[in-house]
Structure 1
Amino acid sequence: MLVIRPITEADFPALMRCAEESGHGFTSLPVNEELLRGKIEHSLESFSKEVISPGIEGYLMVAEDTDTGEVVGTTGIEAAVGLDVPFYSYHISKVVHSSRKLGVHNIVELLTFGNNYTGCSEICTLFLRPQWREGLNGRLLSKCRFLMMGEHPQRFSKTVFAEMRGVSDEEGHSPFWEWLRDHFFSIEFTHADYLVGVGQKGFIADLMPKLPIYVSLLSDEAQEVIGQVHEKTRPALRLLEKEGFTNRGYAAIFDAGPTVECDMVNIRSVYQAFHCNVEISKHSSQSDYLVSNTEFQHFRAVAGKVDVNRTLAKARISPEMADALQVNDGDRIRLLAQ
């Protein structure tokens, strides 16, 4: 069984292993000891704070195998991006160039550089090691964040978004970035990606074109990948789309991967979750649920079989699940049917 819990300082080696395995384009997990330790420290501070509205908090969690104690994945939430360090994105829009006199009518796409997601909550840093990508594990790692948001909504923004990894190859070559590099940056995608990951974003404001970019002026290869997702990220995108997330015309500034968003109250796993009181005993139910406790600093979430009586608001869970969730008989839990 996997249990999702807040990260601790002891999890640093496992987080570094996830960073090394995540590959190019995974900006939120750079292979940098100082930065990763800083992320852990910031998460510890964020989980310990009393919060009545979202700020610069960052919540980083890990997936632990309860049988072996091994940490096999990570997932996170930024409560409100762009408040301390600018968060940049492209907005994809259209303009019309027309001349009635000449009988010409052209619709042209533009990429406009901006900070429109400032103050919004970002779900991020989702990575599960390949050998654990089975059963409900992937869904648990993604949806546990929505169980947390639904239970503690004051800590998060009205709008929740996710920046999906765009198209790049195994060597880290991004067709979109190559066009930007040739005209504005003169550094490789992997270098730019690393600089953003370690928080050195000043070069973006210094070098990024400030005026809108006409998409038709880009190379054919760059145009083709705008709004397209990396093949390894397609399952994560499909899961978010089922939750109600949609692309409202925003793309990442380096690889042009799609940004998807949803109002928190409209996220399926937020509004479909419900509460029950715990009864700890063995049972024969075959119904799958994602389950979390109602704590924040000691948040726990698991996936497994639960015997639910909605009428009585009772949920029978196994002793093993109760131990993972750190709950006792009569405690309140949050459930989401699968």
Structure 2
Amino acid sequence: MKIIRPIKASDYQTLHEIAKESGIGFTSLPVNEELLRRKITKAEAAVQSTPTEPGMQSYLFVMEDTETGEVVGTTGIEATVGLQDAFYHYHISKVVHASRELNVHNTVDILHFCNDYTGVSEICTLFLRENARKGLNGRFLSKMRFLFMAEHTERFADVVIAEMRGVSDDKGLSPFWAWLEENFFSMDFPTADYLTGIGNKVFIAELMPKYPIYVNLLSKAAQDCIGKVHEKTKPALCLLEQEGFKCRGYVDIFDAGPTVEADVKNIATVQASRKASVVINDNLAQTDGQTCFAINTSVQDFRACIAEIAYVDGNRVAIERVSAEALGIKDGDSIRFSPANTKH
């Protein structure tokens, strides 16, 4: 069985391996021991905290195979972004150059440097190791975050975003960044990506173009990748689009990958989720149950699993004993759950 739980200090070595496997462009997991250990420490502090409103908490979870004890994936949520360190994007808009006298009318896309997402929540750091990429694991790792946010609304903003990895090749070469590098930065994409991952963002404000960029002045390769995702990111984007996430014209400043957003209350999994007390009954759960993603209602002792769940009445549901043990709950405790096949 796969469970999802908060990360702990003893998971460092696996997290380091995942950081290496994730590759260039996966900014939220830099291959840096100090930064990864700090990320774990922050995540441990987040689940110990008791905020009444969104703050600087950084939640990081891991998926564990209970049969082997192996950690096979990770996923995270930032309660807010941009309140401590600047959070930059480009926003795509249009400008019209027209002359009625000359009968000329040209509409051109431009990129505006902005901080428009300051204060929103962010889902991030989703990575599933190759040996676990089967069945419902990827969907479970993604959707569990929305159940956690639905259960603990006071900890998160009303809007949540996800930055999607943009186009780059196996060597980390990004067509969009290549244009910026040539004209403004004089450093390669892996270096810029790594500096951002370790929290060194001052160079962005110092070197980034100060005025809007006309898209038609970029190289053809750079233009073609604006708003496009990395091949390995397409499944993750598809899952988020099924939840109701949309791109509002914001893209990453390094690789031009799209940023998608949603109101938390309108996310499909949130809307489909229900909270109920449990009755441990193997027969009823196995006979009448529906495959669901389920979480307990704890933060510090948070657990999530895939479970067969059957309604007993309007306020109670039946689950199997093995699922109850995975969630760390007993008869009468509450869970939040949603069907595994929920779509917007």
TM exceeding 0.5: yes
> For 1:306, what is the secondary structure of its paired residue?
strand
Pairwise CA distance, 1:210: 1.4
Summarize the alignment of residues 135-150 of structure 1 with structure 2, pairs less than 5 Å apart: 135-150=135-150
What's 2:29 paired with?
A: 29
d(CA) in 2 for partners of 1:180, 1:188: 10
- CA deviation map 1:52-101 (0-9, x unaligned): 11111100111111111111110000011001111100000001110101
- Greater alpha carbon shift after TM alignment, 188-197 vs 317-326: 317-326
Q: Number of residue pairs matched? A: 337
- CA deviation map 1:20-46 (0-9, x unaligned): 100110000011000000000111111
What's 2:319 paired with?
A: 317
1:334 aligned to 2:336? yes
d(CA) in 2 for partners of 1:318, 1:13: 33
The answer to whether the Cα contact below 8 Å between 2:248 and 2:261 also exists between their aligned partners in 1 is yes
What's 2:3 paired with?
A: 3
1:121 aligned to 2:121? yes
What's 1:91 paired with?
A: 91
Task: Tell me the amino acid that sits aligned with residue 317 of structure 2.
Answer: A
What's 2:272 paired with?
A: 272
The answer to whether the Cα contact below 8 Å between 1:178 and 1:189 also exists between their aligned partners in 2 is yes
- CA deviation map 1:175-227 (0-9, x unaligned): 00000000001111011100000111111011001110000000000000000
1:297 aligned to 2:300? yes
What's 1:13 paired with?
A: 13
> Where does the alignment leave 5 or more consecutive residues of structure 2 unmatched?
none
Pairwise CA distance, 1:317: 1.6
Pairwise CA distance, 1:307: 2.4
What's 1:218 paired with?
A: 218
The answer to whether the Cα contact below 8 Å between 1:62 and 1:74 also exists between their aligned partners in 2 is yes
> For 1:168, what is the secondary structure of its paired residue?
coil
- Greater alpha carbon shift after TM alignment, 45-54 vs 157-166: 45-54
Summarize the alignment of residues 44-123 of structure 1 with structure 2, pairs less than 5 Å apart: 44-123=44-123
Pairwise CA distance, 1:304: 2.8
The answer to whether the Cα contact below 8 Å between 1:24 and 1:190 also exists between their aligned partners in 2 is yes
Pairwise CA distance, 1:50: 1.1
- CA deviation map 1:290-323 (0-9, x unaligned): 00011112111111322233x3332222222111
> For 2:113, what is the secondary structure of its paired residue?
strand
d(CA) in 1 for partners of 2:39, 2:129: 20
Pairwise CA distance, 1:277: 1.4
What's 2:309 paired with?
A: 306
1:155 aligned to 2:155? yes
Task: Tell me the amino acid that sits aligned with residue 290 of structure 1.
Answer: F
The answer to whether the Cα contact below 8 Å between 2:24 and 2:172 also exists between their aligned partners in 1 is yes
> For 2:139, what is the secondary structure of its paired residue?
helix
d(CA) in 2 for partners of 1:179, 1:45: 40
d(CA) in 2 for partners of 1:198, 1:306: 42
What's 1:230 paired with?
A: 230
1:188 aligned to 2:188? yes
Summarize the alignment of residues 158-169 of structure 1 with structure 2, pairs less than 5 Å apart: 158-169=158-169
- CA deviation map 1:258-310 (0-9, x unaligned): 0000011111111110012111232323521000011112111111322233x
The answer to whether the Cα contact below 8 Å between 2:56 and 2:80 also exists between their aligned partners in 1 is yes
Task: Tell me the amino acid that sits aligned with residue 329 of structure 1.
Answer: D
The answer to whether the Cα contact below 8 Å between 1:179 and 1:218 also exists between their aligned partners in 2 is yes
Q: CA RMSD in A?
A: 0.9
1:199 aligned to 2:199? yes
d(CA) in 2 for partners of 1:330, 1:70: 31
d(CA) in 1 for partners of 2:183, 2:177: 10
- CA deviation map 1:146-197 (0-9, x unaligned): 0011001010001100000000011111000000000001111011100000
Summarize the alignment of residues 233-252 of structure 1 with structure 2, pairs less than 5 Å apart: 233-252=233-252
The answer to whether the Cα contact below 8 Å between 1:137 and 1:303 also exists between their aligned partners in 2 is no
The answer to whether the Cα contact below 8 Å between 2:307 and 2:320 also exists between their aligned partners in 1 is no
> For 1:30, what is the secondary structure of its paired residue?
coil
Task: Tell me the amino acid that sits aligned with residue 79 of structure 1.
Answer: A
Residues 247 and 226 from structure 1, CA distance in 2 versus in 1: closer, same or farther, beyond 3 angstroms? same
> For 1:302, what is the secondary structure of its paired residue?
strand
- CA deviation map 1:207-258 (0-9, x unaligned): 0011100000000000000000111000100100010100000000000000
Identical amino acids, percent of aligned pairs:
56
Pairwise CA distance, 1:130: 1.0
> Where does the alignment leave 5 or more consecutive residues of structure 1 unmatched?
none
Q: Taking structure 2 as the reference length, what is the TM-score of the superposition?
A: 0.96
d(CA) in 2 for partners of 1:274, 1:190: 43
